[in-house]
């Protein structure tokens, strides 16, 4: 059973009398425990595919199975799927609420999913990405870009996801900080059974991280 099984995926919108295909007949499978790379230039459709996998873009057609179960287009993710699939975004600042403390940001998924021992689990999650508990009382603007991205990763891991979607997780960071984040992702993978789908325009990052990859251009898989 593949973690991700896409076949004949299409996304298009109308522009006047033309139909613009953002994703054009994309088929791919990602197996349990893999790190799978989606590479391509801006506008190639790679982020759109990732957003579909995250349930953030329900307007598609074709066939999609996650963990063996079919997902219907034009529907919201419900139940376990909302825990099993998590995403790390490109701009850590834009994805963390600017006026909430780190504790509140990390507590939210636990509260939504009605998990016990919120405080202890937040401390544990922070330790996992290399922070002491004292950082929980700070706000995102008091952190550097790399620190914010580590918070984004901690938040995504809090619910023990089976599939982690990474949308250009290091492209807003310095190479030196990128190395720290990539190492963190590699280390996490060594300690638990998790599948990664990594979207990046940087071939070197994908070559470093991924077991398999496809290249997208103009909405299609070209290699």
Q: In sequence order, what are the residues at sequence separation of 6 or more whose Cβ sits closer than 8 angstroms to the Cβ of residue 204?
A: none
Least separation in angstroms between CB 116 and another protein: 34
Within a 10 A sphere around the Cβ of 185, how many other Cβ atoms?
19
* Sheet strands side by side (includes 195-200): 85-88, 163-167, 195-200, 35-40, 212-217, 220-221
Which tokens belong to 87? 């995403």
Backbone angles phi, psi at 185, to 5 degrees: -65, -40
Nearest to 213 by CA among 69, 79, 40: 40
Q: What's the length of the chain?
A: 223
Which residue, 101 or 171, has its beta carbon nearer to another protein?
Answer: 171
Least separation in angstroms between CB 192 and another protein: 17
CA torsion 63-32-166-46 (nearest 10°) is -40
Which residue, 17 or 176, has its beta carbon nearer to another protein?
Answer: 176
Least separation in angstroms between CB 177 and another protein: 7
* Residues lying near another protein in the complex (CB under 8 A): 41-42, 145, 174-180, 182-183, 186-187, 201-205, 207-209
Least separation in angstroms between CB 43 and another protein: 9
Which residue, 108 or 202, has its beta carbon nearer to another protein?
Answer: 202
Distance, CA of 170 to chain centre: 12
Residues 183, 186: Cα–Cα separation, whole Å: 5
Residues 159, 83: Cα–Cα separation, whole Å: 6
Least separation in angstroms between CB 58 and another protein: 29
Which residue, 107 or 170, has its beta carbon nearer to another protein?
Answer: 170
Which residue, 15 or 175, has its beta carbon nearer to another protein?
Answer: 175
Which residue, 90 or 107, has its beta carbon nearer to another protein?
Answer: 90
Least separation in angstroms between CB 42 and another protein: 6
């Amino acid at each position: 059973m593949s973690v991700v099984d896409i076949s004949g995926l299409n996304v298009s919108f109308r522009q006047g009398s033309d139909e613009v295909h953002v994703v054009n007949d994309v088929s791919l499978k990602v197996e349990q425990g893999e790190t799978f790379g989606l590479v391509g230039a801006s506008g190639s459709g790679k982020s759109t595919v990732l957003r579909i996998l995250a349930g953030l873009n329900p307007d598609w057609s074709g066939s999609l199975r996650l963990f063996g179960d079919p997902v219907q287009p034009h529907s919201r993710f419900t139940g376990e799927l909302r825990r099993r699939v998590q995403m790390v975004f490109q701009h850590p600042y834009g994805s963390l609420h600017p006026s909430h403390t780190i504790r509140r940001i990390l507590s939210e998924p636990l509260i939504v999913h009605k998990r016990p021992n919120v405080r202890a689990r937040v401390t544990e999650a922070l330790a996992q990405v290399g922070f002491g508990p004292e950082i929980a009382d700070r706000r995102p603007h008091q952190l550097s870009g790399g620190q914010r991205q580590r918070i984004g990763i901690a938040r995504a891991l809090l619910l023990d996801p089976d599939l982690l979607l990474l949308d250009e997780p290091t492209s807003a960071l310095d190479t030196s900080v990128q190395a720290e984040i990539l190492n963190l992702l590699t280390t996490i993978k060594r300690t638990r059974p998790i599948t990664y789908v990594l979207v990046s325009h940087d071939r070197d990052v994908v070559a470093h991280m991924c077991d398999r990859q496809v290249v997208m251009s103009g909405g299609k898989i070209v290699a």
